[in-house]
Structure 1
Amino acid sequence: MSPALFARLPAQMQPLAARWRRLPHSDAPSLSGWLEPELLSGALARYARNWPQADPRAVASQWHQEGCALVLPPLLLGGLFDVEPPTLDPARLRMTIDAQGAPTELHLPLDTEEAPAERSGARLLDRLHEQLLHPLVGRFAAHTGLAPRLLWGNVALCIDWVLEMAQANLPDRALGEARAHVRDCHRQDACTAMRAALRRDAAGAMRRVCCLRERLPLQRCGVCPLARRQNRINMPT
């Protein structure tokens, strides 16, 4: 992410953005690598120590949410606003975890994708789905036994939050196009599963499938279908 874009980010995103680094020679595993059974099992086992005796599926869902919150904002915002947008190739994006197993830093290569002559929010989301989201959701679901619908809820909530925060601080045609593309529930295309993961009405967005957060000793997610609207928490994790 360029310094110019970093400076324009809303205050809520600044601490998160400090964990995105251009690091061409990172030896951290790639996002694809983290989906290899041995690496993922090790990370989830370490992460599960935070909640002894917890449902492994709830632990895996929470880890996935933390990963989404780390990885998706720079890819979305960089793709929409940066002069040199980041790659979406999961084999070239690298991630570290901390001693507790939580996703910690995203390392991006120095070389980037060529910026199109005209930015398209809809096209960016389609490419993000095709290159990154669809294959990673499928592999994560296969390894953990979590329903893809639950994982798409994690993805959709994070993307919705990023676009909402950006719209308030970085209004832009391509950004508005991306928001409209995400929220067009009548559209049938590659992003249909992601759109279907959230239910929208005048009160805002709500998950269709619980993320299992309530099975951990954490505050219940405010956009859970089991939560009360007045306690709604509009955050991706």
Structure 2
Amino acid sequence: MAAGARESMAVFDGPKGLSAAFAGPHAWCNEKMMLSENLSDGISLPEFFASGAFDRALSLYAETSGGTDRRAVASMWSLYYFSALTIPYVVARVLDHQALPAAFDGMTVALSADGLPRAFGVATTGEWRDDDASDVFTLIGSLMDEHLARVVPHLKATGGISPRLAWNNAAVYIDYALRTAGTDPMSDQADAMVACRLMPNGGANPFFDCLRQEEEDGAPVCRRKICCLRYLLPGIPSCGSLCALPSQRKQ
């Protein structure tokens, strides 16, 4: 889409699905983010987290997975949540300048049979923004302020995982999306997301130092600051070199 083809901040009307960016290698995003009217079993996020449905979802996933550590169950649950939320958001933002709705209060979520998040619903297709794509906090600021900052306290209160772990889980998928969304990887923005202690507005950056670029056997690797605890769940494969625990990287 050429710059100036639409009025900045105008309502975006994607030709197919929720976003024109959800095509080719990103077509799977259509199954993770859609209009709420097309997500028939969706429940509003405020209701989901306030009604006890989140607690029941964690219990269901613990039962089906055989997990006995509540923190590990909640952390794995959040990995599904953050991947389905953040990757489609970043893909649309980077590839088509489309800012999908991110407000926690305006979204719905649907679960799989095992209690894990399956898809999100949004009320509209959002806005098209012709703004500076070189600043990562311009790209993901709304996602951080309007959604992630709202869900992290629920993960702590009900799931028992620390805010630092929750933000680290989200950082992994945003970093992945920034580096792989387009033909010109936004590695500089991904690096900047975790490099600064303070955000442009002066607030503390919850992503600071969540991921580190290190070298292993002469090759660059990305490594988490905090382990996601997946090793405490039966049958869940290790995340390999990404893991924060040396003992788990070869598992």
TM-score tier after normalising by the smaller chain length = 0.7 to 0.9
Aligned partners of 2:249, 2:76: CA distance in 1, in Å?
23
The answer for the alignment partner of 2:10 in structure 1 is: none
Deviations 1:27-46 (A, max 9, x none): 62223333225111111111
Give the superposition deviation at 1:137: 1.0
Deviations 1:24-75 (A, max 9, x none): 3756222333322511111111111123352111111100101111111111
Aligned partners of 1:17, 1:129: CA distance in 2, in Å?
22
Structure 2: state its 5+ residue gaps.
1-13
Q: Which has the larger radius of gyration?
A: 2
- Asked if residue 6 in structure 1 is aligned to residue 2 in structure 2, the reply is no
Which of 117-126 and 35-44 deviates more? 117-126
1:149/1:119 CA distance change after superposition, 3 Å: same
1:182/1:231 CA distance change after superposition, 3 Å: farther
The answer for the alignment partner of 1:117 in structure 2 is: 130
1:192 maps to which of 189, 205, 218: 205
Give the superposition deviation at 1:16: 4.5
- Asked if residue 86 in structure 1 is aligned to residue 100 in structure 2, the reply is yes
Q: Aligned residues, how many?
A: 223
The answer for the alignment partner of 1:100 in structure 2 is: 114
> Aligned to 1:81, what secondary structure does the other structure show?
helix
1:188 aligned partner, one-letter code: L
1:29 maps to which of 36, 39, 43: 43
TM-score by structure 1 length?
0.81
Tell me the C-alpha RMSD between the 2 structures.
2.7
1:211 maps to which of 211, 224, 228: 228
The answer for the alignment partner of 1:157 in structure 2 is: 172
Structure 1: state its 5+ residue gaps.
233-237
More helix by share: 1
The answer for the alignment partner of 1:235 in structure 2 is: none
1:80/1:130 CA distance change after superposition, 3 Å: same
1:146 aligned partner, one-letter code: I
- After TM superposition, what 4+ stretches of structure 1 lie above 6 angstroms from structure 2? none
Within 5 Å, which residues of 2 pair with 1:168-187?
169-171=182-184, 175=186, 178-183=189-194, 185-187=195-197
Deviations 1:187-231 (A, max 9, x none): 422462213222222422211211110001211222112247975
Give the superposition deviation at 1:76: 1.5
Contact 2:238 2:249 in 1 (8 A): no
TM-score by structure 2 length?
0.77
Contact 2:58 2:115 in 1 (8 A): yes
Contact 1:182 1:195 in 2 (8 A): yes
The answer for the alignment partner of 2:9 in structure 1 is: none
> Aligned to 1:94, what secondary structure does the other structure show?
strand
Aligned partners of 1:19, 1:59: CA distance in 2, in Å?
21
Deviations 1:133-167 (A, max 9, x none): 1221122112222111111111111111111221x
